[in-house]
Structure 1
Amino acid sequence: MGNISNILYGILVFVRWAGLILITIVSMGVMISEAAKSKLSPAKILGVAGSAILAAVLFWMLPTLVNYARGDANMIVPDHPVGGYR
C-alpha cells in the first residue's frame, strides 16, 4: 500500500470507532432524557435501541465500503507515477 492508502485507511478506522463511540453516547443520552421526562414504554426503549443498532451497523459498514472503493481506485490510478521507477 502507498502512503496515501495508509493515511486513508487510518482515517477510516478512526471514523469507524469514533462513530461507534458517538452513537453509544447519543443513544444513552436519549434514553436517559426520555426516562427523565416520562416513564419509558417498551416500544420507546426498543425504538431507541433499534435505531442505535442500525446506526452502529451503518457506521461499521460505511468505512468498509469506502475502503473497497479506495482499493478499486488504486487499481485504476496506481500509487506509482506514470512510467514509474521501480
Structure 2
Amino acid sequence: MGRVRGAAYARRVDTAKCTQCGAIGLEPGFIEDDGEHSSGFARWIAGPLERGFLGGAKRMGRPRWQIDAGRCPRCGHLELFAHERA
C-alpha cells in the first residue's frame, strides 16, 4: 500500500460496516499470495476464469486490481475491496 493511498484506504475501512454482524470499523489488511514468482499480494482480474493450454488462468490483456481486505474485530468476517489497479 502506498503511503497516501494506504491512509485513505485505512480511513475507508475504519468507518465501514461489517455486512455480517453490523459492527462499525474494520481492521485494514490484504490477502497474501506467497506462491512461486508471486508479487506478495492477490489481485482481482476482470472477466470469467478461462484456462489456458496448461490449465493456468488466462490473464493477458485483462485489467488487474489489488485486493485489500478489512477484518471485522467482532466476528472475524473479511470484506474484500478492489480500489486500486495492480
The normalised TM-score by structure 2 is 0.25
- Which structure has the higher relative contact order (CA within 8 Å, separation 6+)? 1
Instruction: Give the structure with the higher percent strand.
Output: 2
In our comparison, the structure showing a higher alpha carbon Rg is 1
Instruction: Give the structure with the higher percent helix.
Output: 1
